[in-house]
Amino acid sequence: MALTINQIGPCFAGEVAGIDLTKALSSEDAASIHAGMDDYAVLVFRQQPMDNDQHLAFSRSLGELEHAIGTSLRASKDNRFPTNFADVSNLDKENRPFEREDRRRLFAIGNRLWHSDSSFKETPAKYSLLHAHSIPSKGGNTEFADMRAAYDALDEETKAEVEDLICEHSQLYSRGKTLFTDFTDEERERFAPVHQVLVRTHPVTGRKSLYLSSHAGTILGWPTPEASIYLQDLVEHATQRQYVYTHEWRVGDLVIWDNRQTMHRARPFPDQEPRDMRRTTLAGDGPTVI
Ligand code: OGA
Ligand code: MN
């Protein structure tokens, strides 16, 4: 059966049917998924139970993996999985929900701010592939915003203004917005800012998008408070409801999003209920600023 995609969001996001992700991916289906990603920017695959190896194999058949090394506050000895997974669960190594005050939990709560994955890395992420292993009884949705539609809706003057701007991104900035400042010197060094363009052009479709993220703190050459407010205003514009798709998770869902064209955020849920979400990430082509 040929793979089909139906749009489920307001201006983007498609649901894919007619594929079993535990089977080897044919080159036709891989091409359809990439074309679907170019077009819809978020793809939802329902009822795809997979173990980590199947998740990894499917991810690798779409591109090269980015490794989640040194990007969270989990010490490597406390990881549930190898570094080719970003563990976005609220669980410790014994699969128990983190205590409310656990700093790993409080750092991870920064995912509830609108962001693009790994925008704090020199070469930021291409796709993220998030799979739900267990979900809480309520809450815990993930919201996505279409940064192409948000760009298209800017007036011409703003488009000209943002065109060549370069931002500094760091997890210190995103966590600073939650007033989490409990970093060691080593972490501060590890999270040193990187530069990213503010307007990206998709390499296949040629569509422009606003490359925003909670990790973006300032704009090169601008006074920081002015840059910070300017970026917050753009985020407010870009995350209006007409650009947002809300994903209500079911166990076994896999959602892929293009970090070059979208932002996303997690929504709150009861903190003592397990939410076991595992992410692989495909590496981007290179830095956005040369
Ligand atoms: C992520 C992320 C949101 C969520 O996996 O990168 O931000 O809802 N997840 O868990
Ligand atoms: Mn994320």
CATH number at residue 256: 3.60.130.10
- Neighbouring C-beta atoms of residue 31, cutoff 10 Å: 12
Task: Tell me if 278 CB under 6 Å of ligand 1.
Answer: no
Question: What is the pLDDT at residue 269?
Answer: 98
Question: What is the pLDDT at residue 290?
Answer: 85
Q: Hey, whose CA ends up nearest to atom 3 of ligand 1?
A: 266
Contacts of residue 232, defined as CB under 8 A and 6 or more positions apart, other chains included, come to: none
- Long-range contacts (CB closer than 8 Å, 24 or more residues apart) made by 57-60: 57/24, 58/21, 58/22, 58/25, 58/129, 58/254, 59/129, 59/280, 59/282
Residue at 111 is within a domain: yes
- Residue 28 CA to ligand 1 centre (angstroms): 29
Residue at 287 is within a domain: no
189-224 in b/e form (b: 16+ CB < 10 A) is: eebebbebbbbbeeeeeebbbbbbbbbbbbbeeeee
Question: What is the pLDDT at residue 64?
Answer: 97
* Total domains, the chain: 1
Whole domain around residue 207: which residue ranges?
Answer: 4-282
Instruction: List 15's β-bridge partners, or say none.
Output: 6, 44
Residue at 204 is within a domain: yes
Question: What is the pLDDT at residue 210?
Answer: 98
Task: Tell me if 117 CB under 6 Å of ligand 1.
Answer: yes
Atom of ligand 1 nearest to the CA of 130: 5
Cα–Cα distance measured from residue 196 to residue 27, given in angstroms and rounded to the nearest whole number: 33
Instruction: List 44's β-bridge partners, or say none.
Output: 15, 255
Atom of ligand 1 nearest to the CA of 264: 7
Residues of the chain with pLDDT under 50: none
Question: What is the pLDDT at residue 70?
Answer: 83
Q: Hey, whose CA ends up nearest to atom 4 of ligand 1?
A: 266
Question: What is the pLDDT at residue 68?
Answer: 84
Question: What is the pLDDT at residue 211?
Answer: 98
Residue at 290 is within a domain: no
Residue at 276 is within a domain: yes
Cα–Cα distance measured from residue 275 to residue 279, given in angstroms and rounded to the nearest whole number: 13
- Residue 88 CA to ligand 1 centre (angstroms): 6
Global pTM value: 0.97
- Residue 2 CA to ligand 2 centre (angstroms): 30
Residue at 289 is within a domain: no
